[in-house]
Amino acid sequence: MRALSPRFAALLPALLTSTGLLAAPDPADWDAVLDEARGQTVYWYAWAGDQRTNDYLDWVAGRVDERFGIDLEHVKIGNTAEAVSRVLAEKQAGNDDAGNVDLIWINGENFAAMKANDLLFGPFARALPNFALTHPADHPEVVTDFTLPTEGYESPWGRAQITYYYDRDAFRGDSDARETPPQDIDELLAWARANPGRFTYPRIPDFTGSTFLKQALIELTDQNEALYAPVEESDFAAVTAPLWEYLDTLHPHLWRSGRQFPASGPEMRSLMGDGALTLAFTFIPSEPAAAVADYELPQSTRSYVPESGTLGNVHFVAIPFNSPHKAGAMVVADYLLSPEAQATKQDLDVWGDRTVLDVASLDDDTRALFDLDQQNPAMLPAGALERTLPEPHPSWMTALQDAWQARYVGQ
């Protein structure tokens, strides 16, 4: 056999890495991961529906380029399912080494679908140096996704929980006494009836709107235990009947009489800023405070978690099985867990997305990076996020979206 020239032999490792033909890097050998990651371009498929989020991802790109020599490209998508479908199509076409997707912002039904179809690289998350800062033994939510163990196939990077916000001044009645905002789903219906057109929710399948459906179902059904098992194991029609009865009653009292819905949470926030709505909700607890700081919402905005509690979850990043840049993707995932990246993400002037780190275990100087601006009038009261309801099994999300579309689209 003819020997390789010294010049070609020297180039071969880089050539194989760029084409995805080398074995996947061992997450446990972090120095080797860092070496392999340098010079790679990582294509991160991530929801792009909010400018604050996009700006933060741009900031991350600058940091990983400066620190690790990684070119991070934000591939902007409207729905995570777009990325999942792309990876699935690549697998079906036999593309096992040179996929287009290196990193996905993901959780819930999309994670379940990728895991069920063997579309994920891993396990890798526990080997990330910064993962220990989440203290998973004390915070099982960072290793559980919509009831499913993550098993190291995705890495946490932020928290979400339904948070309501309202214009306090618009809530005033004829007297100086303030009306108390709704504290459960029944009170919400009563308030909407008394204040027609002043509340709505995003059009399904938007994830914020879909989460509202799950929140309402949890409060309305008397078969809650069914929600934490696969949907096919229950009588879907019987479990969800109270939800459809509730929505049929609620819709005529919504913005534009329920004949039109905002496309997303950010669009619903714009309606609040324009004064079209008095009450809204978000899946980012600090979003109202950040919007007040940016003058997108009035100073009279206040946020709260109802006494009945609200759905909350952790969002993650995952690496497809056929990513040709797995080392770079792992380095990005680890950087997202660094105190610098987590504190910047939580900053109201940046995004306001809550950290997944166990802040109490950090040293004093690092812990101070996570102090929230309690002077902001729209900031949640301390302890409000302790009233967290667990997410149902991921199969319920898809089933509810399909049923909503079948029932209400075109009406």
**What per-residue confidence (pLDDT) applies to 1?**
37
Q: Is residue 274 part of a domain?
A: yes
pLDDT number for residue 386? 83
Whether residues 27 and 69 share a domain: the answer is yes
- Read off the amino acid at residue 397: M
Can you give 254-267 as a three-state secondary structure string? Answer: CHHHHCCCCCCHHH
Is residue 221 located within the same domain as residue 303? yes
Does residue 103 sit within a domain? yes
Q: Name the phi and psi angles at 307, rounded to 5.
A: -60, -30
Does a structural domain hold residue 326? yes
Does the residue 6 lie in any domain?
Answer: no
CB-count exposure of residue 105 (10 Å: 0-12, 13-18, 19+): buried
Same domain, 169 and 142: no
pLDDT tens for each residue of the chain, 411 residues long: 344 444 444 444 444 444 444 567 899 999 999 999 999 999 999 999 889 999 999 999 999 999 999 999 999 999 999 999 999 999 999 999 999 999 999 999 999 999 999 999 999 999 999 999 999 999 999 999 999 999 999 999 999 999 999 999 988 653 344 468 999 999 999 999 999 999 999 999 999 999 999 999 999 999 999 999 999 999 999 999 999 999 999 999 999 999 999 999 999 999 999 999 999 999 999 899 989 988 999 999 999 999 889 999 999 999 999 999 999 999 999 999 999 999 999 998 899 899 999 999 999 999 999 987 778 889 888 788 888 899 999 999 999 999 999 999 855
Encoding tokens for residue 341? 């990246």
- Cα separation of 112 and 398, whole Å? 11
Which residue type occupies 102?
Answer: D
Asked if residue 279 and residue 196 are part of one domain, the reply reads yes
**CA-to-CA distance for 8 and 374, rounded, in angstroms?**
60
Cβ contact 333:109 at 8 Å: no
Cut 0.85: pTM above it: yes
**3-class DSSP assignment, residue 46:** strand
**Cα–Cα distance for residue pair 153/110, rounded to 1 Å:** 13
**DSSP string over 49-109:** --HHHHHHHHHHHHHHHHHH--EEEEEEES-HHHHHHHHHHHHHTT--S--S-SEEEE-TH
What digits encode the pLDDT tens for the residues 313-367? 999 999 999 999 999 999 999 999 999 999 999 998 899 899 999 999 999 999 9
Domain that holds residue 239: 163-313+386-408
The SS3 call for residue 349 is coil
Q: How far apart are CA 393 and CA 136, in angstroms?
A: 20
Query: Do 255 and 391 share a domain, yes or no?
Result: yes
> CB–CB of 242/221 below 8 Å?
yes
The answer to whether residues 323 and 101 touch, using CB atoms and an 8 Å cutoff, is yes
Residue 54: name the closest of 71, 70, 77 by CA.
77
The pLDDT of residue 375: 80
* Cβ burial, residue 410 (10 Å; 0-12/13-18/19+): exposed
Residues 249, 397 within the same domain: yes
Q: Does one domain contain both 247 and 391?
A: yes
Q: Where are the alpha helices (DSSP H) in 295-363?
A: 326-336, 339-346
- Interatomic CA distance for residues 218 and 391, integer angstroms: 9
| Backbone φ, ψ for residue 410 (5° rounding) | 90, -5
| In a shared domain, residues 224 and 272 | yes
> Does one domain contain both 196 and 234?
yes
Q: What is the mean pLDDT of the chain?
A: 91
C-alpha–C-alpha distance, residues 279 and 271, integer Å: 10
Rounded CA gap, 250 and 91, in Å?
43
Domain count, the chain: 2
Q: Do 368 and 341 have their domain in common?
A: yes
Helix or strand or coil: residue 280? strand
pLDDT of residue 279: 96
Distances (CA, A) of 38 to 25, 75, 350, 399: 13, 20, 27, 42
pLDDT in tens, 361-403: 999 999 999 987 778 889 888 788 888 899 999 999 999 999 9
Q: Read out DSSP for 362-395? A: S-HHHHHTT---TTSTTSPPTTGGGSEEPPPPHH
| CATH code of the domain in which 31 resides | 3.40.190.10
- Indicate whether 306 belongs to any domain: yes
10 belongs to a structural domain:
no
* CA pair distance 205, 211, nearest whole angstrom: 10
- pLDDT, residue 410, reads 58
Q: What is the DSSP letter of 334?
A: H
Positive or negative CA dihedral for 260, 219, 317, 351?
A: positive
Q: In this predicted structure, what is the pLDDT of residue 349?
A: 87
> Is 212 inside any structural domain?
yes
154 and 86 within one domain: yes
DSSP string, 140-171: GGGGEETTEE-TTSSEEEEEEE-EEEEETTTT
Same domain, 137 and 179: no
Q: For residue 7, is it within any domain?
A: no
